[in-house]
Structures are given as C-alpha cells and as structure tokens.
Chain A
Amino acid sequence: MDTLGILSPRELEALRAGYNRKMLLALAPQLVAYSKLAPETSWIAQAVYAAPPNSTGPSGSAGPPPAPTCLTPWEREIVVLSLAMAKRDLFTMPAHLYWALMELLEHRVERPVEKLADVIMTAGTYSGIDDARWGISVLNKLLSALGTAVTKNLTTTQQLLVDPDTGVPGVIPQTFPAI
C-alpha cells in the first residue's frame, strides 16, 4: 500500500485523541539511565523541548533555567527526524515519527502523513537514496503498526510507547525492538 493510504482519517483522529504530549516530555529525559547525565538531559528537555521544569524528570542543572527554543514542536521534530534518518537511528526514528505526526494532527495540519514523507524525501535527497529508502520503510512499518493498534483500541501515548509506571514497552518499541 502507498504510504499515504495506510492510515485512514478515522484512525488518525483516534490516535490524535489519545496523544499526551506531557507524557512524552516527561519520558524523554528518563531514557538515558545514568545519573551523571541528568543535568544534560534536563537542559535538553528545557532548552530544546521547551518543557516546563516540573515535567523534565531528573533535575540537577546548576544555575537558572535555559532560554527555551523558539522552534515549534513540529519544527523541532523536523530537525530530529532528519538527523535520526542520517544516522539510521531506529530507536529515535519511529518514536519521533509518532511525535511529529501527533503534533501535526494536534494543530490540524492538512495531509500530515504526506508532510512526514516529504521530510524523509528531502533529508534522503541530501543524505542518500539509501537513507530515503530506509526512512520510508520505517514510516510505512510504523503507520501499519499504528493502524493495527487502533483496531485493538490501543491509541494512547502510554499504550503506544511505554507505561511509565510499569516500564512495559508499548506498540512502537515492540514493533521496532532497537536499543
């Protein structure tokens, strides 16, 4: 199936309704499980992700909080996805494709899946056609997994990524079992 036809508007809406940005902002800094790195992850959360201080997980930064980014969440995700693709980062890529898709849906942007595919197309033009193939393959696999998840009524960010209380991986890490 063509990338643009994998998820229906109804399925996209179900995913949007289950999206929880706060949870993602709190989850991300906890992914680097080494306490000495806590100040760095805290800085990233606040400066790059513009997360409020109480949602950043581990703390420990010295001095005043950094000035937050002036990029929108979608613009930030454009950059993160482009790099994940250039680096073939299978951990970062599917989770951030989900994040980017949700931000586009939250802001009612038209043709959100096509926007994601176009980011991959553009990045692939500059990083290589092999990266474009890889990126589109990851996107297609993710969209298919999300479609299956919707049919099983698994649409919340918690169900799709990870249960923050139990640590049980959700649909996306189960589909892409990368470190």
Chain B
Amino acid sequence: MPKTAVKRRLHTREMPAYDGDQAGSPGGEPQSAPTPSVAMPDEDTLAILSEDGLAALKQGYNAQVFASLAKGMIRYPKLDGEVEWIGDNLYRTQVRPSTGYSTAEAASADAVRTTLNATEREMVVLAVAVAKRDLFTMAGHIYWALMETKHNPVERVADALITAGTYCGVDSTRWAVAVYRKVLAVLRAAVADGFKDTKSLLTLRYPQEFPEY
C-alpha cells in the first residue's frame, strides 16, 4: 500500500466519532469512518427547517452539554487551563446582580466575564470560522447560534453568514451557505429520526454527517 494511502487510512481510523466524556479515549478501539447520510437539500435556505422542527430542537437544547463536550475536545492536559478560562469567561456572560454580589470573590470573578450575550458571541465565532473555513467549528456553532437566537433565528444566522462572506469573498459566501444548508438538513433529519437533544445530536449525528469531526 502506498505511504500516503496508509497515512490517510490511519488518520481516518485515529479520529473516532466524538462522543463526549465516554468514547474517543486514547487507546480505545478506533471506529470506522462514518458515512454521511443526509443529502444537500433543494429548498430555499430559509425553508429547510420548519418552525415545528426548530421548536422541537429548542425543546431538546441543553447548553450545558456544550460545556461538558468542550472539556474533552482538546485532549492535552497542559491546555486544560486555557479551556477552563474560555468556558468560564467567554461562555458565561456577566451577571451583575441588581442586588449586588454576595462576596468580593464573586464580584471579581464576574467582572472578568464577557459582556456579550450568547447570540452576540456566536456571531463572532461564526465570523471567524467562515474566515478560516473551519467546518468543525461552523457545524457545531451554527446549531448553537440557532438555539440561542430568540427571534427569527434561521434568517438571522443566514444574514450573519452572508455579512461575513461579503468581507471574506464570494467563495467564502458559497462555502458558508453550503455548510449552513447542510447543517439545517442534518437538523431536520435528526428531528425526524428522534435525535432532538443536544447530546445525541452532537455525539451521534454530527460525527456521522461532518466527518471532519
């Protein structure tokens, strides 16, 4: 077998489907590469995911799952501190309780947290992901952005992506819209198949549909 083919095969075999805090452990049995099953849709982007589908996904949404998955995504202990900082300060919005903080420690811990709400944060992350053509980040954060955006989420995320594409080039617009359409189709299929909760979506459906995971 040619060296490159061996390398490619090894690479595929060494990237098991990520399933949160259980599988994917070093030394675990490698899984075979999954085959995507959801085809690119034909509909207009805004018509792929129905209101009912979106509502079902929102019902099964659990932001805490992202936090628990993030900890296992970079498997190198020296980076634990950075991952923890990101979780504590970028993914937790300042509270600033109107009644004041209970302790000085609580006040200083809150002061260094972001002022961005989840929708604003996701727009930043998606914009950078478009610039970098980062399929791993895009697929997960499109779902996250849809879940965190209260009004008109499908169109708002689409508009964030075309705004990003306007500044990145029309080739990036094409890529971002194509990824978005695929994610919406995957979410629609997941709802139809009963995978509505965040954990099963991200740990079972996503690795299958976005093999770059």
The answer to whether A binds B is yes
Residues 91-131 of A contacting B (Cβ, < 8 Å) = 92, 111, 114-115, 118-119, 121-123, 125-127
Q: Are A127 and B160 in contact (CB under 8 A)?
A: no
A44 within 8 A of B: yes
What B residues does A111 contact at CB under 8 A? 115
B51 within 8 A of A: no
Contact of A47 among B90, B119, B162 (CB under 8 A): B162
B139 within 8 A of A: no
Q: Bound complex: CA of A87 vs CA of B172, how far in Å?
A: 14
Q: Are B131 and A48 in contact (CB under 8 A)?
A: no
Q: Are A115 and B167 in contact (CB under 8 A)?
A: no
One of B18-26, B101-109, B151-159, B197-205 at the interface: B151-159
What B residues does A71 contact at CB under 8 A? 156, 159-160, 163
What B residues does A80 contact at CB under 8 A? 163, 167
Q: Are B115 and A123 in contact (CB under 8 A)?
A: no
Q: Are B127 and A78 in contact (CB under 8 A)?
A: yes
Contact of B86 among A48, A83, A125, A127 (CB under 8 A): A125
B129 within 8 A of A: yes
Q: Bound complex: CA of A87 vs CA of B171, how far in Å?
A: 16
Closest 4 CB pairs of A and B: A82-B127, A86-B131, A126-B128, A122-B124
Interface residues of A (CB under 8 A from B): 44, 47-48, 69-71, 75-76, 78-80, 82-87, 92, 111, 114-115, 118-119, 121-123, 125-127
